[in-house]
Chain A
Amino acid sequence: MQQAVAPSDRTLHPSAGHVLPPPNVVDDNVIRSALAVHLGRKFGGEVVIDGFARKSSGFSWITYSFVARSSSAPDRKLILRVGPPNGLFAPYSVLPQVHALQSMAGKTVPVPDLVSFDQDGAEIGFPFFICEHVKGEVPAPWASSSLDEDHRRDIARQFIAILGELHKVDWSKTPLASSGRAGEARGEIGAIAAWRCSLARPTARYYPLLDWGGRWLEENCPSPPRRAVVHGDYRIGNFLEHARKITAILDWELTHLGDPHEDLAWALMPTFNAGSRKFYGVVEREEVIELYQTVSGIPISAKSLAFYEAFALYQAAAIQMCAVRAFEVDRFNDMRMAVMGSQMASIVRAFDRALEAAA
């Protein structure tokens, strides 16, 4: 059973003179020192941070693993996630992820237990949260897997069944009910509008098909079969598996309330399945849909799925343009951002084709 977690109780006291302006670069040594202070206060005693290491150099949140050692309690293997000031979706809020982890705790969707979080960044200079370490490996979505087909089928079917469980959750009784769009009758249209705003920010290149297609999506958004908790980035690569079992669903930063078709369409994108039309390269789409419907009880509409497959490509294009903007406008010196934008023409063409299928 997960314990109730409160945000950090440390508040900003500018007059006390010990709160510095937020830095622009995430310094691992500074983070580690501040983390020890934070956990010492949280756990009530001195805490030593051991084995502190970046888990990945992702495009967005920075992930660290470490062991918290104290004299009064057993060692705890934990995960720290930090929202950097110049990441793809900066400025960051921890609240979608915190609310999602809190809402899913104790339910049939496996998530890491939340330990602590700080939304305003006063503790270590950036928004962050800490959760328990969960055993498992993250499969890579972009390259062919070395796992055998039976293994991948097992994992793929578990992953789809968990999605069905996620969409069954009654969010009205969870912290997600306090999210910004919970009260909106057509929140999914608001989500499309938000991506349109993101794409409308000035960059050197302008893609007429994206501008026109974004308006088409907003004007033709289907009514959802039910409003569900949408993960927002539900795909191969965003879960842990151990011994042929999914142990945790990760990366809840884009969680929102919306149409369940959105997650299904995103998961089926060939980009996240090593270029295959089959889910995880092994499960046919029809089988995915049948399994999902059986678990969730939500009927899948071919028209809505086609719409959200087009929307998935639109989002992919918008994310690439965030990277272009980070490089060109914000002058973020990460070449991965620059080269992400080089695939824009292919994505826009795929989006145009998907719109034709959805129309």
Chain B
Amino acid sequence: MTKSFDLVVDGVIDALRAHVLPNSNDDFVRGQVFSIIFALNGLKLAADWKAGPLLEQVRLQDAAFSEVRRLSAGMDHPPIPATPRAETGLADPERLEALRDGGDRRLGELLLWAASASTQAAQPIAANEIERTLRSFIRDQLKVEIGMTPKSMLHQIATGDER
């Protein structure tokens, strides 16, 4: 199980125990809350994030690394991981999540390097192309995440109003 999945489930259970149960005096409602906690504990044992979107993000990162390696040939750049980073058939969400998060940090280092004054001064055309390429791949990666994001409920969350 991934750490973030675990955190979310634990957070829901904690919030129900701390905020909902103490304010529920109706036996039926309390029974519903305890049932939800039980179901969540079951999910903790049996469920996890989907591997597919994580794998897609890791593949996009790998494509970005390959392209930057090609564009930065001969330049003094931060380390670029060897690709592919995920072995064939890897479907463990915990390992994929760690690869995705680690990949984001590498992409950040490369982006900051490409946009730095020293790189821009030394090789402006290549630096701009690397910056553009990285931003493009990162945007594609964000699209994968946006596709898994439910519609915002900020109004309901902030006000408690169903409208």
Contact = CB atoms under 8 A, between A and B. Distances in A.
A292 B121 CA distance: 41
A135 interface: no
Given A204-B3, A339-B157, A352-B139, A212 B115 contact: yes
Given A206-B101, A208-B108, A342 B150 contact: yes
Contact of B11 (A206, A333, A340): A333
Chain A contact residues: over half helix, strand or loop, or mixed?
Answer: helix
Contact of A349 (B11, B115, B142, B159): B142
Nearest to A345: B145
Contacts of B18: 333
Contacts of B19: 333-334
A140 interface: yes
A143 interface: yes
Nearest to B159: A140
Contacts of A205: 101, 104
Q: How large is the interface on B (under 10, 10 to 19, 20 to 34, 35 or more residues)?
A: 35 or more
Interface string A238-281: 00000000000000000000000000000000010000000000
Contacts of B134: 208
Chain B contact residues: over half helix, strand or loop, or mixed?
Answer: helix
Contact of B107 (A143, A208, A334): A208
Interface string B150-163: 10111101111101
B11 A59 contact: no
B104 A206 contact: yes
Contact of A208 (B104, B155, B160): B104
B47 interface: no
27 contacts: A59-B158, A140-B159, A205-B101, A208-B104, A208-B108, A208-B134, A208-B138, A209-B111, A211-B111, A212-B112, A327-B7, A327-B11, A328-B7, A333-B11, A333-B14, A334-B19, A335-B12, A338-B7, A338-B8, A338-B11, A339-B153, A342-B150, A343-B152, A343-B154, A345-B142, A346-B146, A346-B149
Interface of B: 3-4, 7-8, 11-12, 14-15, 18-19, 101, 104-105, 107-108, 111-112, 115, 134-135, 138-139, 142-143, 145-146, 149-150, 152-155, 157-161, 163
Interface of A: 57-59, 140, 142-143, 204-209, 211-212, 215-216, 271, 327-328, 333-336, 338-340, 342-346, 348-349, 352
